[in-house]
Amino acid sequence: MKLVRFGEKGKERPGIWMGDGRILDVRALAYHIEDYNDHFFANYGIGQLEIMLEDPGAQFVEAANVRLGCPISRPSKIICVGANYAKHAREFGHEIPTEPILFSKATSSINGPNDPICLPDEARVVDSEVELAFVIGKTASKVRQEDALDYVAGYTILNDVTERAVQKASGQWFRGKGFDTFCPIGPFVVTKDEVPEPGRLHIWQKHNDQVLQSNYTNDMIFSIPHLIEYISKGMTLLPGDVIATGTPEGIGSAHAPQVLMNAGDRIELGIDRLGFQSALVQ
**Is the domain of 250 the same as that of 119?**
yes
pLDDT at position 171: 80
What's the pLDDT score for residue 181? 98
* Per-residue pLDDT, 140: 98
Among residues 42, 69, 96, the one where a domain terminates is 69
Same domain, 50 and 152: no
Query: Quick one: pLDDT at residue 274?
Result: 98
CA end-to-end distance (rounded Å), the chain: 33
Same domain, 52 and 166: no
Q: Which helix (H) or strand (E) holds 192?
A: none
Q: How many domains does the chain have?
A: 2
* Angstrom distances, CA of residue 265 to CA of 18, 53, 209, 219, 228: 30, 39, 10, 28, 35
Q: What is the pLDDT of residue 170?
A: 77
The Cα-based distances of 39 to 76, 151, 234, 254 in angstroms read 12, 15, 23, 41
Give me the pLDDT at residue 172, please. 85
Instruction: Give the pLDDT confidence score for residue 40 in this predicted structure.
Output: 97
Q: Are residues 229 and 267 in the same domain?
A: yes
Positions of the chain with pLDDT under 70: none
Span 146-187, pLDDT tens digits: 999 999 999 999 999 999 999 989 788 999 999 999 999 999
What pLDDT shows up at residue 89? 82
User: Whats the size of the chain, residue-wise?
Assistant: 282
Q: Check which CATH number belongs to the domain holding 84 and give it.
A: 3.90.850.10
Instruction: Give the structural domain span for 120.
Output: 78-280
CB neighbours of 251 closer than 8 A, spacing ≥ 6? 88, 91, 127, 128, 129, 212, 213
Say whether pTM exceeds 0.85: yes
Q: CA–CA separation, 16 vs 242, rounded Å? A: 19
Backbone angles phi, psi at 53, to 5 degrees: -60, -25
Tell me: do 191 and 262 sit in the same domain: yes
Using alpha carbons, select from 247, 190, 181 the residue that is nearest to residue 72.
190
DSSP secondary structure letters along 210-279: EEEEEEEGGGBSS-HHHHHHHHHTTS-B-TT-EEE----S--GGGSSS-----TT-EEEEEETTTEEEEE
Strand-pairing partners, residue 157, are 132
